[in-house]
Structures are given as C-alpha cells and as structure tokens.
Structure 1
C-alpha cells in the first residue's frame, strides 16, 4: 500500500514526537443540559513508535499538563483546575499509555491504552483515522491521525456537579476527547 505522499507504510516505521504547534488535544462536555463547552489542553508531550509493516506492534504515550486546560473563559478554567474537577496542583499530569493497536481498515485503527486522570487509571479505546503523511518544507516526515472517544468523567473521580432548578445537572458526565495529531519522525 502507498500513502498519499507516496511513502509506503513500512517506510513510516520509526520513532515520532507530537508537534505541539500542529496537534490539538481537546474535549467537549455538556453544560446545563442544553449546550456544549469545548476546550483544549495546550501543553503536552507525546512519543510513539510506529510499525508500518505491522501497526499492531506500534506503541506510544501522551502526557498532558492539567494546568494548560483552556475553554476560553478564565473563570471556568480556574474552576476546572481545582479539586472540584482536575486538581491540577495535586495531579499536574494526565497520562495515556498505549497498550494495544488494532487495525480496522487501511486507514482506521483502534488504539487502546491506560488513561490516568487524577489518581484513577482505566483502559480507554480511541478510534483513529490515519489521514496521511507528508514531507514538510524542512524535510520532516509527518503523519496525521484524527480520533475521538467518549469517557465518563465520574469513572475518573471527577464528580463535582450542581443541580439545576428545573431538573438535571450543570455538567454532563460524558466527555468527548478529541485528538488531531501531527507527529514528526525522528532521525
């Protein structure tokens, strides 16, 4: 198989780092039962070893700085950093470590790993689409992946909420995690 840039999958084999300038790690959560709040984490590091010949042998990890949460509203971001939610002073990192990669099709993969939020670690599966590869103007080989998954924040000890007068709660339990990844192959 040849990818969009003309590089075959086996040639993609190697070690990669996430490009923080061109990668987005975001989330979406329901607010007041009627709308969604979107946000992202702006500080993170990620590495991966991609095996183009046998993607199931690929590995990786991402470490996210909890304090870098950004929803565009500073007052809300400060609240999200407290013990009510992520407790950034006590738990400065959110971690995801890949434990399994499953190939679903030529471009679709299920990546399973251990997600640690606060002091809770649980297995999470993320469906990714391989969006291609390209050599950038600086000679770097890049690969792109897009994926998302839905988690229960309560399962990770993030339980704060407030009841609404007409019923329901202020913050939904389900959180969609979104990943738009640009990774650069290392020499």
Structure 2
C-alpha cells in the first residue's frame, strides 16, 4: 500500500531542534495535570518513494526535562523516576507506518529508563514548505499515551484522601519540524 502526500519528497530528513518540542502530561493527585518538556537530541527520517516505508530514529535528552518547578524537576531526574545518571536519553526507532481510516500511524519501539516497549504514535501531518533560506521543510505532530510503570517508572505516594500522587498514563506529544538534506 502507498499513500499520496502532496509535496512529499524522498530523502533523508534531519530534525530542526529550534522548531521542535517533546511535551508530556500526567495526572497529579488525580485532580489536575502536570506538563513538561524535553529537548530533542536528534531525529532522522529516511523517506523512500513510498511514505509508508519511511524509517525514523529519534533521541530525546532526558536531562533537559523542565516542568517549570526546579524541585519537581530534580525529583523526576533522580533515581525515583528517570535516573538520568544511568539513562540520559529516551529513544525511538520506528518499525512501520500505516494509514487507517484517513489517519496516519507510526509504530515503533520506545526505550525509556532502559526498558523498550512497542508504541504507536498517531501522526498529524502539517505539510511541506521552503523557508527563506532555501531549505525544504516538513512539519508534523504525533501523540501517544504510555503507562509509565511499563517502563520501570513506578515511584508513587498514596494520598490520604485515596488514590495516588502521580497517574500511570502519560501523554507524549511531539511537535516536529525537519529539513531535507541537500
């Protein structure tokens, strides 16, 4: 199966970190959400003629985590959660792409905290365009929900009112822009 994406060009695409972001959100105290960001270390998309045969590899710098609260960030970076001394990156390697019911999906292996699990990102393709400097760019957003405990991120605290401090489900959202290598 192949799909037609207007403006699509095969080749190798490299991430533009100045125009890309990885964010997450997780329930806090079961009543609100905490949001944060990570810096994208690298991402490469190798795109053949058929877009559904594209391969992507990406690495996120976990040490760049920011939730806007230094104390919380320090706890998240510690051995209770990400343990960045041992696991400074999160990595993704695609295993396939597919179109279903008008939606695009990218399947792959996500490694967090030394644990690799299959995940599926729902892709929202933004389009293509040339920047003022002659670079051909593409933009997309992707989203998935993971259970953090599946990746060994199990720290939590029981609440006096019932429930727990940190939810299990984490929504990961990617907003990415890449440039076609000349």
> Does the pair score TM above 0.5?
yes
| 2:70 alignment partner in structure 1 | 74
Question: Alignment RMSD, CA only?
Answer: 1.3
Cα gap change, 1:142 to 1:104, in 2 (>3 Å): farther
Change in CA separation of 1:48 and 1:40 when aligned onto 2, cut-off 3 Å: same
Deviation at 1:147, TM superposition (A): 1.3
1:20 aligns to what? Answer: 17
Q: Distance in 2 between matches of 1:55 and 1:103?
A: 10
Matched, 1:91 2:96: no
SS of alignment partner, residue 139 of structure 1: coil
By how many angstroms is 1:128 displaced? 0.2
* 1:184 and 2:176 are equivalent in the alignment: no
In the alignment of these two chains, the number of paired residues is: 179
Instruction: Give the Å deviation of 1:103.
Output: 2.3
Partner of 1:38: 35
**In the TM superposition, what whole-angstrom CA distance separates every residue of 1:3-36 from its partner, at most 9, and x where no partner exists?**
3xxx3x3xx1110111111011110100011100
Match of 1:117 among 112, 118, 124: 112
Q: After TM superposition, which residue ranges in structure 1, 4 or more long, deviate above 2 angstroms?
A: 103-106
Q: Is the 8 A contact 1:55 1:103 kept in 2?
A: no
- Unmatched 5+ residue regions in structure 1? none
TM-score relative to the length of structure 1: 0.92
What is the CA deviation profile of residues 142-177 of structure 1, one whole-angstrom value per residue up to 9, with x for unaligned ones? 111111010000000000000111000000000000
Q: Which runs of 5+ in 2 are unaligned?
A: none
Q: What's 1:136 paired with? A: 131
TM-score (norm 2): 0.94
The answer to whether the 8 Å contact 2:38/2:62 transfers is yes
Are 2:157 and 1:162 equivalent residues in the alignment?
Answer: yes
* Separation of aligned partners in 2, 1:56 and 1:77: 37
In structure 1, how many angstroms separate the alpha carbons of the residues matched to 2:5 and 2:86? 46
Distance in 1 (alpha carbons) for counterparts of 2:167 and 2:101: 33
Q: Deviations over 1:45-89 (max 9, x none)?
A: 1111123x4112100111111111111111111110011110000
More strand by share: 2
